Structure 1
Amino acid sequence: MANPFEKRATEYLRDDAAFLSVVTPEPLHTFFERHAKDGTLYDRLCTVIGTPGSGKTTIATLLQYKTVETLRNSPNIAEYKALIHALTKCGIVKDNKTQILGCRLPLESEYREFWELPYKDEIKLGLLKSFLQSRAIIAWMKNLQENRRYDLANVKIIYRDQADVAADSIGGQNALDVFEKAKSVERAIYEISAALIAPKESSLKDDAIAPYHPFDAIDHFVVNYGANPAQVLKPLVMLDDAHTLHRSQLIAVGSWLARREMKIGRWLLMRLDAQTPETVLTEGFGKDSGIVSESEIKKSREITYIWLQSSIDRRKQREDFRKMARSMADKYLRLMPVFTRQGISRFSDILNTGVSEISESKYIELSRKIDRTQKNLGISNLRRKTFESEIDNYFNNSETTDKGRDVKLALLSIIMHRYANRVPQESLFQLEPVDPEPNKPIKIKAGLADGARVYLMHNYNRPYYFGVDAICDGSSDNAELFLQLSGRLVEAAETRIIKSPNGSAALPPAYQHKLLVERAQEMMDEWSFPLYGEVKSLCKTIAKHCVEKSLEPNAPLDGGANAYGILQDEFDTIPEKFPELAKVIKFAVAYNAISLKPKYSTKHKEWCLVELTGPVLMVSGLTMNRGGFLEKTVADLLDAIERKQL
């Protein structure tokens, strides 16, 4: 069987039941629940924006009516309790009844071609709008039919007040008539867009150009089923991959769908690179979208923005993603018979997270190096014993399992150098050795221990990236990156089982580290998005300087740096003063090469952190703990992209 980790869920799974078996509810709780509570999910335009692989299509597929009904009517409904709960919290289900008639329209096919037609802009836009609306009607009807319980003859369409004329042009209240009218409009417009030579504007059929405005007129659907009470369904259309439209189309469609008169739910799902550089760089997350801000609609109260990446409460986001990724990986693993036959049902079962210390010879080498450091820095044996006692005390009270003797020794080296920097320099004529107290106490904490592990990774090849949490953090909260990284480990574990069925499938930490770094490098090598050369140069330059800082003997930034910090006021000038740099940063953020943390307050100043993300961190050997940065300027960013170190 093919490794499901190597393919996206929506591409791999053939039917709704299989799709539901691997979907997790966490994204619904994280990104949509609060908007459902305040009533802003289905009564206005909702714009969902995220990087490739952030889960936009998966969410849209889950919220389709036929998928929800498959879930609700599943004989294994107990297994889907968490999903039902999430859908209830988001207003999709209420009292175990589906409330929303959702359909997903992928816009990655022929919709952009309308912009190339040799007609006036208003005609081209009119054809696009009618085409979208006809296909939405068809999709809603097919969702109802696919359930097999509903005859369209028993479906009634209710229109909003003062929409009588529009209702007549759509087909009236009978769903069958509306369905036929929609197919007629779709057919007429498709013949225009698919023709080798576009027909003359004067010869366009009435069905293609006549007024057709179901989105403006429809309020809700009423379904009658036997003796059961009539069921009211609110229609929702989800326009997926909206970024594939021409920019002028996207702006016009956004303005149209943002009109208050519409009663249907309408979502635009698009990638981050469809936004303007100003929106990405000046913290548009949670605010107005750069697409709609160029149109006549500028008030955020008319649109709900859902950013699947945000700089707000990143700790919680990381925790939520870890939970979601674990659940997703466990479900994917259960699709592979080779693991189920071995009784392996959890992704963590194939990842050995035991302490992996350096070899004895390397430990002796490190120990001798520490002795030389002690001598060169003039540190007394008594002071060294004090440090060792404090290190033991820290690890005895720490929850970490990685407390090997090599980590303690590397940590001792860091503390010695910090101590040397915090005591007065001895005079050349000092007759007796002194043991002064440092001018500032040396506190041992998790970040400092992480710095010791980073040091051991670079200098003694000690594995650093292993275990589920490392893979999650290395995925930068992106589901597709997580699947790509973990897929390589699953493949290796599968091979181990096949070669030795009675052996252990768990991969040693060193092997995990090796595979993850190799896969991360492949992912960077596969970059082919716009300006990827400049993005790669920017990442390499930041990584080079961060590694140098992270490996300083006293570990000044604890676990190390993984970002440039630019003063916020200076960073805000980039879109206007340096538009080319703004584009590079925009695409770097949009394709998970870097992330931005604006308005980061420290040292009595406000910074924007330009942070490296998971694959780049793994390739460079940098910590995944956030917050460590190098103080830089916009000039440093410009210098990095001008070098183009490919």
Structure 2
Amino acid sequence: MAYRANPFLERMSERTSDQEFVRLFSPKILDRLHEDAFNGAVHLFTSPPGGGKTTLLRAFTPTALRAFWNARAGQDEAYQRLLGRQVLHESDGPQLLGVLLSCASGYADLPPGASMTQAGLFRALLDCRVVLRALRSLSSLLGYGSTDQLVDVRLEYDELGRDLKSIPVAESAVELVRWAEERERAVYAKLDSLIGDASADLPVHVRFESVLWLQSVRFFRGDKVVAPRRLLMIDDLQKLRKRQRSMMLEELVELRPAVPVWLAERSIALGDALISQGAREGRDLRHYPMEDMWSGKSGQHQFTTFAQSILDRRLDVQRSIPAGAFSQYLEDQLTPDDLGDLFAKAVQVFEKETERHLQNIRYTDWLARAKEGQKAVDFDSLVELYATRILIARSEGRRQLSLELAPIPVEELDERDSKVLGAAEIFCHDELKLPYYYGIDRLCALASTNVEELLAIAASLYEAMQAKQVLRKQPDPRLSPAEQERRIKETAKRKRDFIPKSHTEGTRAQSLLDAIGFFCRDKTFQIAASYAPGVTGIRLSQNELNRLRPAQTKTSEHYAMLARVLWECVAENLLMTRDSAASASRDEGTVFYLNRSLCAYHGLPLQYGGWQDVSVENMIGWMDRSSAPIKRRSLEVLR
């Protein structure tokens, strides 16, 4: 592989060779593919930019599969997974013919409209391209240099194939390649006739026959069947016109294909469905939001494993610092030197905030325990001080008017849960400016299950490692927690500042996201930590969401604008949605969590779970900057 100044800036799905792709590809994504993803049906993969759709599709192209096969001795993990999916065979090599097309060019050139002629041209163009790409893919799978070498390949068809109307049932692969190339030229040659001669002989198709052709054709080289399994992959559906996309989805589902058809598109194409009505799904249409691959009980842990695999593979191809695990260059513990004078400051603040409780017998044992803990100047003791402040504040909030003369047992301090400790740690960060965003686990959490965001942060960290070893000639390129956090916050700020330039409603989106961040800080940094470890999202109930449906927003420009801003934020991974089930005290709804990098920008924790209900009116005011939440003083004591 060629030398890369910063391998984390390389987007391997588009510019790398197949050998480089195989070397960098993390096969752990294959574990997250649904079991029926290779069954006959239409499978729709959606994600924000950088979610890994194109990388996943490229892994099943013929040249990539051949590269996996050729590198099997050094890529045992990927090889075994592809064997398990019956994509590769131990002795015969690739068994699946992956046919990949992109909608990024050509289809939108067709005239807009919904007439039968225009729809027929769209089908005709797609059909000839599927046939042409399938035969070119077959040529690559067999190791041929061009389709001219397919002269020794014979085509046979099942009963369905003999019913094809628009695609010729040719036995010669070379002859069919020639037909597909001529048909594509004919489509473009006849475009002007839609305005001129309406009676022109247009190459229009009445259905997407290429899918039926792909599932009915059999390829023989001699007496041996080649590529018995098929997979049609169509990327960049968001590049199509809305009517083209809708027609393709509807008609492909109606065909009930016997081969898997993978469609990939950016979430932006789903429009208001992202926040209101959801995607249509059924037996013949399966919808897979890529971010949901990492949801569930162990989802974040599995994404962390996947992310570390990506980072380690990238680090292995550079030469500026010694290769190895990316995590080994990220210090994940705060030392006494990192604490410096901050421990003494924390003790002073603790004593000031608890001074009024010195004569209260209820807290005698707790305060004595805190005094004893101050002898050990370390991070754990620091967190203990803040956890004790939190528990005292909670106890004060629950205090009854009844006379209580006995001290609270010190054992209750030991019964605190991980959420209280998490709140104590983010309080340390906010009040003492102690590093919080450091270590491999938090780096992976900051990615918000998005590979491109992971690589953007890692690229900045790698530059710091590289600078220490190459520019400053330091023998140890490891980054301290403070160095990591500085780089991470710089990356988060760039992401936040770039929002107005990269989104249709960017200025309003930035205002809304900033307001949500201020609101979450207001709820997080209350000394009782009522929503420990903190609030990182807001929730709209189903009644509130209903007000943002298209039928409702027609009567209010403010509602319509909020709906557009919200779904664009979700589509671009600036907000992440989670369903919220109904309970005895509230109806169902949707939680909108801040992107984790934006959490870092606002100094918030990275855990999920903490959210607060808001109204559509609240969000409209925040979006228009007319009623942004007021920043509360950090760790405000509510008396």
Q: Is contact 1:447-1:559 (8 Å) kept?
A: yes
Displacement of 1:445: 1.6
1:414 aligns with 390
Displacement of 1:409: 2.0
Matched to 2:595, the amino acid is T
Count, aligned residues: 604
Secondary structure of the corresponding residue to residue 45 of structure 1: strand
Displacement of 1:178: 1.0
- Superposed CA deviations along residues 384-440 of structure 1, whole A, max 9, x for unmatched, are 5446759999xx9xxxxx94332222222222222322334699xxxxx955549x9
Q: Give TM-score, length-normalised by structure 1.
A: 0.85
State the distance in 1 between where 2:89 and 2:333 align.
Answer: 46
Secondary structure of the corresponding residue to residue 104 of structure 2: coil
Determine which of 211, 214, 219 is the counterpart of 2:215: 219
Secondary structure of the corresponding residue to residue 77 of structure 1: coil
2:36 aligns with 35
Secondary structure of the corresponding residue to residue 109 of structure 1: coil
Q: Give TM-score, length-normalised by structure 2.
A: 0.86
Structure 1 residues 404, 490: closer, same or farther in 2, change over 3 A? same
State the distance in 2 between where 1:571 and 1:323 align.
Answer: 35
1:111 is aligned to 2:107: yes
Q: How big is the alpha-carbon RMSD for the aligned residues of Structure 1 and Structure 2?
A: 3.2
2:487 aligns with 515
State the distance in 2 between where 1:390 and 1:160 align.
Answer: 80
Q: Is contact 2:492-2:600 (8 Å) kept?
A: yes
Q: More displaced, 495-504 or 144-153?
A: 144-153
Secondary structure of the corresponding residue to residue 230 of structure 2: strand
1:296 aligns with none
Determine which of 539, 558, 571 is the counterpart of 1:565: 539
Displacement of 1:283: 6.5
State the distance in 1 between where 2:304 and 2:134 align.
Answer: 35
Q: More displaced, 318-327 or 417-426?
A: 417-426
1:556 aligns with 530
State the distance in 2 between where 1:91 and 1:220 align.
Answer: 20
Matched to 2:97, the amino acid is L
Structure 1 residues 18, 212: closer, same or farther in 2, change over 3 A? same
Q: Is contact 2:536-2:604 (8 Å) kept?
A: yes
1:586 is aligned to 2:552: no
Secondary structure of the corresponding residue to residue 574 of structure 1: coil
**1:164-313 mapped onto 2 (5 Å cutoff):** 164=162, 166=164, 169-192=167-190, 200-202=196-198, 204=200, 213-225=209-221, 229-260=224-255, 262-277=257-272, 279-282=273-276, 284=278, 288=280, 300-310=282-292, 313=295
Q: Percent identity?
A: 19
State the distance in 2 between where 1:547 and 1:333 align.
Answer: 36
State the distance in 2 between where 1:467 and 1:451 align.
Answer: 18
Q: Is contact 1:550-1:560 (8 Å) kept?
A: yes
Q: 5+ unaligned residues in a row in structure 1: which ranges?
A: 290-299, 397-401, 428-432
- Superposed CA deviations along residues 80-111 of structure 1, whole A, max 9, x for unmatched, are 22222333444433556433211211111221
Determine which of 313, 318, 321 is the counterpart of 1:331: 313
Structure 1 residues 79, 266: closer, same or farther in 2, change over 3 A? same
1:54 is aligned to 2:64: no
2:41 aligns with 44
Displacement of 1:25: 1.7
Determine which of 58, 64, 68 is the counterpart of 1:67: 64
Secondary structure of the corresponding residue to residue 592 of structure 1: coil
- Superposed CA deviations along residues 108-150 of structure 1, whole A, max 9, x for unmatched, are 122111134xx87222222222112212222222222224546
State the distance in 2 between where 1:470 and 1:24 align.
Answer: 20
Secondary structure of the corresponding residue to residue 170 of structure 1: coil
Q: Is contact 1:170-1:213 (8 Å) kept?
A: no
Secondary structure of the corresponding residue to residue 215 of structure 1: helix
Q: Is contact 1:311-1:596 (8 Å) kept?
A: no
Q: Is contact 2:123-2:205 (8 Å) kept?
A: no
Structure 1 residues 2, 171: closer, same or farther in 2, change over 3 A? farther
Q: Is contact 1:101-1:234 (8 Å) kept?
A: yes
2:634 aligns with none
Determine which of 5, 17, 40 is the counterpart of 2:8: 5
Secondary structure of the corresponding residue to residue 164 of structure 2: helix
- Superposed CA deviations along residues 329-387 of structure 1, whole A, max 9, x for unmatched, are 10011111112xx3x31111221112156644332222122112222234658835446
Matched to 1:623, the amino acid is P
Q: 5+ unaligned residues in a row in structure 2: which ranges?
A: 553-558, 630-639
Structure 1 residues 2, 205: closer, same or farther in 2, change over 3 A? farther
Matched to 1:21, the amino acid is R
Displacement of 1:202: 4.2
Structure 1 residues 94, 634: closer, same or farther in 2, change over 3 A? farther
1:450 is aligned to 2:422: yes
Q: Is contact 2:129-2:180 (8 Å) kept?
A: yes
1:24 aligns with 26
- Superposed CA deviations along residues 432-478 of structure 1, whole A, max 9, x for unmatched, are x955549x966412111111111111111100001111111111101
Matched to 1:288, the amino acid is R
State the distance in 1 between where 2:230 and 2:594 align.
Answer: 41
Secondary structure of the corresponding residue to residue 301 of structure 1: coil
1:463 aligns with 435
Matched to 1:457, the amino acid is H
Structure 1 residues 567, 379: closer, same or farther in 2, change over 3 A? farther
Structure 1 residues 84, 365: closer, same or farther in 2, change over 3 A? same
Determine which of 105, 129, 132 is the counterpart of 1:138: 132
Matched to 1:406, the amino acid is L
Q: Which runs of 4+ in 1 moved over 6 A?
A: 208-212, 390-393
Displacement of 1:243: 0.8
State the distance in 2 between where 1:56 and 1:95 align.
Answer: 27
2:296 aligns with 314
Matched to 1:520, the amino acid is A
Displacement of 1:550: 1.4
Structure 1 residues 184, 557: closer, same or farther in 2, change over 3 A? same
Matched to 2:566, the amino acid is I
